[in-house]
């Protein structure tokens, strides 16, 4: 039986003797009694199930969602030409890559579940980490999930009812979105393995879909005519940069749209603590996922530009479906709409997987009611690894081994956290206004990305001795910080009111923090003398 202490010592084989029994007591390793209120002491992290492939599909599964199939119009219509559009896609991809590489360094140095929360707490203090969690649990995660699920609903409805039906009530697609959210939550509640297996399968589907679009696009452009007889772009004599704008704000807005399509590169950081070998796999995942995604996005865009006239792209929110119908006719539109809704379903699944863990960590820390930091339906023995293995029937054993959780059983997942996330997402889905959600997500999300990566630079200076199994080039975080600062400043000028709303919401977390932390200290939870970042060297 492994106690929290063995776990801590194994995860952090450090030679410090100052921190008590076991050499080292990180986050929430209690001196006696139940493990409460600790990031690293979490029951989920005792079972290190995630591999390189799971990491890859967690990232790719979330990144390739809706964006590449619908945002090309938002990019090219703003910068004015196909060539400039392609440049924006490359820049957005490289920016996401620098962000991912920076996060990989942080994740290797601080291998715990929780993502930006733990890095911010380590660098700027617990309040900064809390404010991230506050925003992520209440808005960022459920908000982005709501956006993805609404898009999923729209494409599915389109595929079933027909691509041209414009008269369908938005409530139909919202209802489909709700069903999708609930399905994904249920699957993720059953077992960790079910969630990751779905991710693995859908990742391949997405790459195949993008590859298919690329190959047909290029093939059709070479022959000069689509299967339905439409002419394609005359690419030999074409001026790709004709009409490019020099308005910086337009470029910034285009970049935002591209970045949404690349967003999700921080997804593995939420579950670092569950990786078998985080310091090896995290950078590997980033450095394979990002180039693959960038390449397939740029190629897919090239295919769109070759086959569809620019004005048609600029005027469409569903570029991929347009592409399908132009090349193959109505059947093509239907197939592509189906693929896109599956792709969104996969992104929703990836997002839910990590949102559940993030919410769970918040519960563990006592930031939100501690029930959300429980595993399963509340069997405490299960969480402490004390539940006895009952004798099970052959069928039950088979079923359990298929989902891969023989030793922990079904529902060894943060069930309450997942249900909370599902409920908030559903509320946004029903009442949320699409463009508000998108703006809020962009501004708040990039504020925290910026601060976290800035934290990396601060940590390099303040704590050079910190063990960093993976070090990125120092130019990487610097580039990321500069570009995200540029983006944020543009947003402040372009949408001052919405930015104020974001700032107001984040700051509203401060009183909550003091209330929760005082309450926590009164109940003597999660506080073992010193805070974890004070002993972390
Ligand atoms: N890149 C995804 C898409 O194209 C969106 C990712 C949303 N981000 C997130 N962290 N949930 O649909």
Poorest-confidence range of 37-46, 151-160, 189-198? 37-46
> Which of 264, 342, 350, 356 to probe ligand 1 with, by most ligand atoms within 8 A of CB?
264
Residue 149 CB–ligand 1 contact under 6 Å: no
> Which of 145, 180, 203, 260 to probe ligand 1 with, by most ligand atoms within 8 A of CB?
260
Mean pLDDT, rounded, for 169-187: 88
Q: How far is the CA of 146 from the centre of ligand 1 (A)?
A: 10
Q: How far is the CA of 263 from the centre of ligand 1 (A)?
A: 5
Locate tokens 């069903």: which residue?
179
Q: Residue 101, Cα to own-chain centre: how many angstroms? A: 15
- What is the model's pLDDT at position 481? 92
Percentage of residues in the chain having pLDDT higher than 90: 17
Residue 148 CB–ligand 1 contact under 6 Å: yes
CB atoms within 10 A of CB 374: 20
- DSSP secondary structure string for all residues of 415-448: HHHHHHHHHHHHHHHHH--HHHHHHHHHHHHHHH
Residue 261 CB–ligand 1 contact under 6 Å: yes
User: Could you identify the atom of ligand 1 that is nearest to the CA of residue 71?
Assistant: 4
Residue 410's pLDDT band, with cuts at 50, 70 and 90, is: low
Best mean pLDDT range from 110-124, 190-204, 235-249, 427-441: 110-124
Mean pLDDT, rounded, for 162-178: 76
Residue 32's pLDDT band, with cuts at 50, 70 and 90, is: very low
Q: In this model, does residue 336 exceed pLDDT 70?
A: yes
ipTM: 0.96
Q: In this model, does residue 314 exceed pLDDT 80?
A: yes
pTM: 0.81
Q: How far is the CA of 25 from the centre of ligand 1 (A)?
A: 36
Q: In this model, does residue 17 exceed pLDDT 60?
A: no
Mean pLDDT, rounded, for 452-461: 90
- What is the model's pLDDT at position 450? 93
Residue 397's pLDDT band, with cuts at 50, 70 and 90, is: low
Residue 347 CB–ligand 1 contact under 6 Å: yes
């Amino acid at each position: 039986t492994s106690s929290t202490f063995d776990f801590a010592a194994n995860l952090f084989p450090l030679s410090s003797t100052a921190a008590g029994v076991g050499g080292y007591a990180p986050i929430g390793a209690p001196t006696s009694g139940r493990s409460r209120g600790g990031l690293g002491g979490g029951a989920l992290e005792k079972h290190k199930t995630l591999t390189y492939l799971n990491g890859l599909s967690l990232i790719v599964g979330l990144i390739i969602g809706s964006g590449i199939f619908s945002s090309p119009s938002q990019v090219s219509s703003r910068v004015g030409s196909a060539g400039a559009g392609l440049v924006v896609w490359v820049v957005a991809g490289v920016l996401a890559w620098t962000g991912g590489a920076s996060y990989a360094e942080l994740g290797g140095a601080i291998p715990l579940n929780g993502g930006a929360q733990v890095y911010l707490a380590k660098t700027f203090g617990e309040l900064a980490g809390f404010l991230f969690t506050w925003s992520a649990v209440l808005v960022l995660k459920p908000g982005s999930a709501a956006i993805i699920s609404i898009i999923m609903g729209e494409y599915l409805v389109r595929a079933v009812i027909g691509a041209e039906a414009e008269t369908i009530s938005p409530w139909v697609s919202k209802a489909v979105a709700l069903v999708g959210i609930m399905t994904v939550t249920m699957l993720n509640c059953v077992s960790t393995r079910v969630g990751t297996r779905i991710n693995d399968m859908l990742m391949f589907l997405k790459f195949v879909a993008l590859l298919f679009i690329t190959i047909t696009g290029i093939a059709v452009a070479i022959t000069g005519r689509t299967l339905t007889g439409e002419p394609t772009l005359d690419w030999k004599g074409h001026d790709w940069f004709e009409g490019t704008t020099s308005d910086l704000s337009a470029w910034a807005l285009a970049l935002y749209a591209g970045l949404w399509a690349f967003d999700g590169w921080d997804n593995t950081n939420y579950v670092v603590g569950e990786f078998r070998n985080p310091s090896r796999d995290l950078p590997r995942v980033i450095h394979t996922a990002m180039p693959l995604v960038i390449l397939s996005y740029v190629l897919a865009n090239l295919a769109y530009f070759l086959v569809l006239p620019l004005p048609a792209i600029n005027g469409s929110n569903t570029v991929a479906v347009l592409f399908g119908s132009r090349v193959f006719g109505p059947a093509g539109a239907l197939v592509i709409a189906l693929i896109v809704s599956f792709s969104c379903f996969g992104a929703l699944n990836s997002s839910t997987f990590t949102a559940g863990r993030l919410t769970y960590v918040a519960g563990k820390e006592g930031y939100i009611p501690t029930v959300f930091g429980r595993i399963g339906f509340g069997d405490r023995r299960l969480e402490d690894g004390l539940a006895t293995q009952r004798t099970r029937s052959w069928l039950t054993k088979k079923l359990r081994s298929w989902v891969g959780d023989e030793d922990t059983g079904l529902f060894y997942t943060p069930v309450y956290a997942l249900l909370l996330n599902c409920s908030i997402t559903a509320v946004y889905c029903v009442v949320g206004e699409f463009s508000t959600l998108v703006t809020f997500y962009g501004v708040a999300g990039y504020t925290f990305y910026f601060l976290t990566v800035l934290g990396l630079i601060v940590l390099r200076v303040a704590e050079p001795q910190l063990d960093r199994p993976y070090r990125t080039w120092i130019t990487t975080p610097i580039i990321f910080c500069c570009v995200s600062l540029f983006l944020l400043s543009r947003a402040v000028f372009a949408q001052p009111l919405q930015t104020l709303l974001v700032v107001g919401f984040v700051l509203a977390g401060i009183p909550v923090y003091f209330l929760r932390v005082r309450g926590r200290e009164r109940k003597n939870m999660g506080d073992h003398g010193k805070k974890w970042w004070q002993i972390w060297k």
